[in-house]
A = this chain, B = another copy of it.
Amino acid sequence: MKKTKVAVLGATGMIGQRFVQLLEDHPYFEIGGLYASERSEGKSLGEVLKVKDVRFMQDTLDMKIELLEPKAVAKRCRAAFSGLPSDTAKEIESDLADAGVAVFSNAASHRMRPDVPLLIPEVNPDHLEMVRSQSTFSNGGYIVTNANCSTTGLALPLQAIYQKFGLRACYVSTYQAVSGAGYPGVPSLDILGNVVPFIKNEEEKMEEEIHKMLGKLDGNKVRYAEFEMIASCARVPVVDGHLESVVVKLGKEGSPEDVIKVMEKFKPEPQKLKLPTAPVQPIIVRREENRPQPAADALAGDPARARGMAVSIGRVRESKGYIKFWLLSHNTLRGGAGGSVLNAELAVAKKLL
């Protein structure tokens, strides 16, 4: 099988470099170019390295960053993975789709567009079909987005629960890692020994995106899921891994043991299709009294290629008719670059790429 050439957009940022990590030796894709703004043009990846816990191959470190110019990207690459900041992503991603490139984006710009799938292969794989209604589709260009990092981790267990029990309300408070804010991102003076109870637009994204993802595809439109979603978001002094305190009111009765069961049995399409970046067990329910924790569970997921792609759940318990649990997912892998790579793998399986 010949590998598909893909571009990495925003290759100097945290998400961009996670894309590079996941694409270094991918069975379907090969990196056709690393792109960023003029500031980094001509530098090697090694010179602008942000991610500290990965050991890239020397060849990868030596790759040069090129200036992001949509036409030039389109000439070389069939698809693009976008780790661009939302403000610049909107236009560039549209231009790329116009030029016939399949764009898999981590940016927020196009997520809520009615014809753009907000996709998590484990949650709403059928939504991928929406790309067929995009005006650029006939030329091979389209946009697929992954969800906000905090919403992503939540969407998996919530979908498992929603399908089985229905859902009346979900109250969530987040404990988010600093890598979610990119680099340089959060100043150390703001977060050392501190918690900051504010992340711009994050609560709005969480309260909005989840209803689209758990919604039903009806023709080429999504009918949004209906339940109360109340989110409060804070930044904590952790490098990687978003922890979330979740309280749900089920639609019909279910015990903690029932909820654990549906989570553990959750084996949706990516697992059936054995997509390379899909973890064998997408939701891991831990039985220890004090897990999941960022330091121990951010990189959950097997096989090695799916490290950081499993969502860890713990302390599933009941209180006054509510189910409470904690969840943890890796914000720049499952909730970022890994999500879009998995989206592209699904597109391959669906012959859209």
Contacts and interface: CB of A to CB of B under 8 A. Distances in A.
Interface in A106-164: none
Contacts of A320: 207, 228-230
A44 to B, nearest CB: 12
Nearest to A327: B197
B52 A237 contact: no
Contact of A294 (B173, B195, B239, B315): B195
A295 B52 contact: yes
Most chain B CB within 10 A, of A50, A237, A324, is at: A237
Contacts of A295: 52-53, 192-194, 239
A187 B183 contact: yes
A279 interface: no
A21 interface: no
A191 interface: yes
Nearest to A320: B228
A243 interface: yes
B294 A207 contact: no
B247 A198 contact: no
A61 B186 CA distance: 24
A175 interface: yes
Given A230-B319, A296-B52, A193 B289 contact: no
Given A171-B171, A232-B247, A236-B175, A185 B185 contact: no
A35 to B, nearest CB: 22
A192 B191 contact: yes
Interface string A180-209: 000111111111111111100001000100
A326 interface: yes
A197 B237 contact: no
Contacts of A195: 175, 236, 238, 243, 293-294
Given A184-B184, A293-B52, A326 B236 contact: no
A336 interface: no
B237 A243 contact: no
A347 interface: no
A338 interface: no
A314 B189 contact: no
A155 to B, nearest CB: 19
Contacts of A190: 188
Contact of A237 (B188, B234, B290): B188
Contacts of A229: 320
A33 interface: no
A189 B231 CA distance: 25
Contacts of A281: none
A-B residue pairs, 3 tightest by C-beta: A173-B173, A184-B187, A198-B290
